[in-house]
Amino acid sequence: MLAAEPLISEFLASNDQTLLDGDGNSSDWIELTNTGDEAVDLAGWYLTDRADDLRRWPFPAHEASVLSPGEFLVVFASGQNDDGYIDALGYIHTNFSLRADGELLALVMPDGETIVSQFAPDGGDYPVQVTDVSYGLREQPLTETLIGIGAEASLLVPTDGALATTWTELDFTPGPQWATGPTGVGFDTSGVYASLLGTDLTADFQNGATSLYARMPFTIEDPAAVSELALRMRYDDGFVAYLNGLPVYLQNAPGETGAGVIANSETDFSGTQGANSWYYGYYNLTADADGTYAAADFVEFPSDGTTIASANNFWNGTYWDWYSGNPPWTYIGANATHPNGANNSAEHWTVRRWIAEATGQMALHVHLHKDNASGGGVTLRVFRNGEEVFARAIAGNDATGFTQTITLPAVNLGDAIDFAVTPVGLAGGDDDTSDTAIMTVEVEQLAGPPLAFDSTALSSHDEDLETPAASFDLTAFRDLLQSGENVLAIHALAEAPLDDDLLIAPELIATIRGKYNADEAVYFAMPTPGAPNFGGMAELGPIVRSVTDRPDPPTESDSLTIEAEVLPTLAPVDRVELRYRVMFAAETTLAMRDDGVGADRVAGDGVYTAEIPAGYM
């Protein structure tokens, strides 16, 4: 039976900086959500902080009071005189505020008597609250397997293109030429996939066929409750997936129309790791035992979201620069970069990593030239998932450099394409001091061949049964789901006629909007007003804020003073320690003080201080 289930999911009884209301005030706030499968109009319902007045504040008759399934509503508890007050941003305000030292908080039905959601453990008050730390219920999402291994499938090895893509549609009815059987489906002359094959189609591929059509129906009661959708897949060699007739994913398969330039290292450049699918970091060749670059050797530059240089933040607001650099002199800008030579500590390569956000054939248009016409030169190396696909060196005085296009066939979503600049050029040495270079890259998605009944995969892909199945995110397509029956269709592709194997073993996994356990309220150090709550702590420890260092920048003769504001919550702070490491040395632990002694400026102000002695660099 469909029903609305509103509840209080989170509240903040001491708001300072978390969320401002439409009047610019940091009022207390209460978050509600609808965990049911029908919309609810809260007009006439009540919020209260008093057991003797369950009708303390009524929700107004306003569109903001209507909660759709899974939707969140933030109400500010600002103590307004007007019960129906709505601010300039559309936030509803109550006629009471919340007490940080604890009280009742409840949601009451329109009868004014029935409490449907409350924070009142054992009939008492909610516990003591802390500034900018919220309290509430964590969402516990449910995972539902819509299609599992062994699911019944309708199967056809096509001999012509008469069906086009009609066979992928929900209302298509398989004819008598279609077979049925459990997944995984395919064939394997070597026997490697024997444990996965629920339906063996060896005989059907003896005539040189390269394609398999598979339809797997499934049902879902409430598509609106699906928050995430994933296709988990073991496959050999490629496939195209359709959901209710529309293509939603392809892997190692033709059919891409070509989107043109989809990435540009210069215009995409930012101080956020992962923005536009770019990551920035380095490779320490000196510290690498085998001296061979692998995908796992890439180390991201750290970032704490500020522009203050520190061991935890290499972004200075303009470019990524090794903290207290030179040595090592390792940085990446929008187009300029400097790999560190062995004359300055370790040999570092600077690495820009692009995570493929599309599939198919890609053209990498790269350019490299020296910025300062001196030194021994540099080399650009390009890797795909750790395998080198291109390398070219230039001389130290080459201010023109080169522009070249590298074509990568069959790029898969999530492939890591690394563009590494090394301090070794045509001169062969890694110890000069003039390695600044200009390097840019454009990634162009090229058009691929059209998908047909006799298409083949773009390249070979052998499934590794020792590793987990690949998972492909289909969340963007969850709106295609319908209440009731749906169909997942897979066009599987072999690499060539008379291939040795073909396999599809799909699973379709949905994450269903979570339920809330009203008996397990927790603290959230990172409040999420208007969004799901995850994590949380039943017990709350000290909160560390405002970590700074001085002087900025330090010299070799300076000690480095670290200050951190440490706030007690439910218990006093016992002790604070600083742990630091220089390069690859062992960690050192220092006690941090708040007693006004030494580098600590003010006793008892909650700012703890430690001093790293001079010479640490």
| Residue range 79-121, pLDDT digits in tens | 999 989 999 999 999 999 999 989 999 999 999 999 999 998 6
| Domain topology for 6-133 | Immunoglobulin-like (2.60.40)
Q: What is the pLDDT of residue 137?
A: 94
pLDDT in tens, 407-449: 998 888 889 999 999 999 998 776 666 789 999 999 998 887 7
For the ranges 34-38, 55-59, 295-299, 365-369, which has the lowest average pLDDT?
A: 34-38
Strand segments, DSSP code E, in 385-483 are 387-394, 402-411, 416-422, 437-445, 470-473
How confident is the model over 299-322, as a mean pLDDT? 89
Length of the chain: 617
129, 522 contact by CB (below 8 A): no
Whether the predicted pLDDT of 566 surpasses 60: yes
Whether the predicted pLDDT of 403 surpasses 50: yes
Whether the predicted pLDDT of 211 surpasses 50: yes
How confident is the model over 39-61, as a mean pLDDT? 96
**Domain at 146-255+450-512: CATH code:** 2.60.120.260
Whether the predicted pLDDT of 398 surpasses 50: yes
pLDDT band at 237 (very low <50, low <70, confident <90, very high): very high
Tokens 């359709």, residue? 242
Task: Tell me the backbone φ, ψ of residue 223, rounded to 5 degrees.
Answer: -60, -30
- Domain boundaries, given as residue ranges, for the chain: 6-133, 146-255+450-512, 265-445, 543-612
Q: 339: which DSSP letter? A: P
Number of Cβ atoms within 10 Å of the Cβ of 587: 8
Tokens 């504040």, residue? 57
The pair of structure tokens assigned to 266 is 């210069």
Query: Quick check: do 6-133 and 265-445 share a fold?
Result: no
Question: Could you say which architecture CATH assigns to the domain 265-445?
Answer: Sandwich (2.60)
Q: Is 186 helix (H, G, I), strand (E, B) or coil?
A: strand
pLDDT band at 257 (very low <50, low <70, confident <90, very high): low
pLDDT in tens, 470-481: 999 999 899 899
> What is the CA 430 to chain-centroid distance, rounded?
37
Number of Cβ atoms within 10 Å of the Cβ of 283: 23
Nearest to 56 by CA among 37, 71, 75, 38: 75
pLDDT band at 309 (very low <50, low <70, confident <90, very high): confident
How many whole angstroms separate alpha carbon 485 and alpha carbon 438?
A: 55
Whether the predicted pLDDT of 57 surpasses 90: yes
Nearest to 279 by CA among 341, 210, 217, 350: 350
Q: What is the pLDDT of residue 476?
A: 84
Nearest to 170 by CA among 511, 481, 505: 481
How many whole angstroms separate alpha carbon 417 and alpha carbon 382?
A: 7
Instruction: Tell me how many degrees the CA angle 233-457-488 measures, rounded to the nearest 5.
Output: 40
% of the chain beyond a pLDDT of 90:
67
* pLDDT, greater one: 215 or 138: 215
Exposed (0-12), middle (13-18) or buried (19+): which is 99, by Cβ within 10 Å?
Answer: middle
> What is the CA 160 to chain-centroid distance, rounded?
42
